Amino acid sequence: MESNGRKRKTLLELQNVSKVFKKDGSDVLVLKDIDLTVDEGEFICVLGPTGCGKSVTLQIVAGLIDQTNGSVILDGKEEHGPGPHKGMVFQEYALLPWRSVVENVEIGLELKGIGRKERRRIALEQLATVGLAGTETQKVHEISVGMRQRVAIARALANSPRILLMDEPFEALDALTKEEMQIQILNVWEKTGTTIMFVTHDVDEAIFLSDRICVMDINPGRVKKMLVNHLPRPRHECMSRTDKEFNDMRDEIIALYSSLKDEELDLII
Ligand SMILES: Nc1ncnc2c1ncn2[C@@H]1O[C@H](COP(=O)(O)OP(=O)(O)O)[C@@H](O)[C@H]1O
Ligand SMILES: [Mg+2]
């Protein structure tokens, strides 16, 4: 696939992935035959209403849970289990409150056995990438929630992941901070070239961020449509609701959910 003028190769492939959970003694099909490819360097958003299986999909890619059927292939190799090459960023940033900002970014590097000096060098570099240079000695409880989420992103980046997996990371933030973080993550993506798979149930967020949007359906969770996002970057200006291209894309997504009942349509639109 060619996007933004760059030739790309496939990084991640989900082939026929399904997931069955036991619920009250019976089997529930939560994900059905997910086929999905993500290109190297791509920003892909997975969009769908609450309960459609976005988090389960991301956790399968992360290796945190096993699929019932199908394969997850990264860099041409079948994946089993978690690893630092798949950096996870959650809504709850899971930082250690008693540690300083830089010590939190160093956690994964410590686990890998990287020496103190090198650890610090990498951590400071990644803090600069997320716009937090100069905050390294602050304690996590002293900084804002938006900054904490940036620390979590820097921590994932410090492991040089092949792919950054983000599960509704900005959901708990107020509108203004959310917007700042969306711009920040695009900066990080442009600076690092890291492939990003970003889960959201916010239609505007998916349109603002993505190269492509994997629109999911519910009951069972499945891919409804893969949309290519042709909106030019940077998008700050064209994201106004009066912009035609933006509205067309929005309308296209909303129309995809026209068959859902109101109570199922749990999307931010
Ligand atoms: N560990 C689990 N055990 C049983 N059911 C689960 C588990 N995790 C998720 N589910 C179910 O799978 C479905 C999809 O969940 P999830 O991926 O969290 O949805 P989303 O992230 O799109 O809101 C939901 O019906 C949820 O209840
Ligand atoms: Mg979820």
Reading the chain (269 residues) residue by residue, the pLDDT tens digits are: 444 555 679 999 999 999 999 989 999 999 999 999 999 999 999 999 999 999 999 999 999 999 999 999 999 999 999 888 888 887 776 889 889 999 999 999 998 899 999 999 999 999 999 999 999 999 998 999 889 999 999 999 999 999 999 999 998 888 888 998 999 999 999 999 999 999 999 999 999 999 999 999 999 999 999 999 999 898 876 566 568 888 899 999 999 988 776 666 677 77
pLDDT at site 78: 95
Q: How many CB atoms lie within 10 A of CB 210?
A: 23
Predicted pLDDT at 88: 85
Cα 169 to its chain centre, rounded Å, is 7
- Ligand 1 atom 3: the closest Cα is on which residue? 21
CA of 266 to the centre of ligand 2 (A): 12
From the CA of 111, how far away is ligand 1's center (Å)?
30
Residue 265 pLDDT: 67
The per-residue pLDDT for 67 is: 97
Q: Whose CA is nearest to atom 1 of ligand 1?
A: 21
Alpha carbon nearest to ligand 1 atom 16, residue? 53
Are 34 and 18 a contacting pair, CB within 8 Å?
A: yes
CA distances from 199 to 103, 109, 147, 222, 240 (A): 27, 26, 20, 14, 22
State the pTM of this model.
0.92
Note the pLDDT of residue 5.
52
Instruction: Locate the ligand 1 atom nearest the alpha carbon of residue 167 and give its number.
Output: 21
**Closest residue to atom 7 of ligand 1, CA basis:** 21
Tokens of 87: 């950096």
Q: What is the pLDDT of residue 173?
A: 87
Ligand 1 contacts (CB < 6 A) are: 21, 23, 30, 48, 50-56, 221
The reported pLDDT for the residue numbered 47 is 96
Q: Which helix (H) or strand (E) holds 33?
A: strand 26-39
Q: Where in the chain is the domain with CATH 3.40.50.300?
A: 1-85+165-269
Ligand approaching nearest to the C-alpha of 61 = 1
Domain 1-85+165-269 has CATH 3.40.50.300: yes
Which residues hold their Cβ within 5 A of ligand 2, which is an ion? Answer: 55
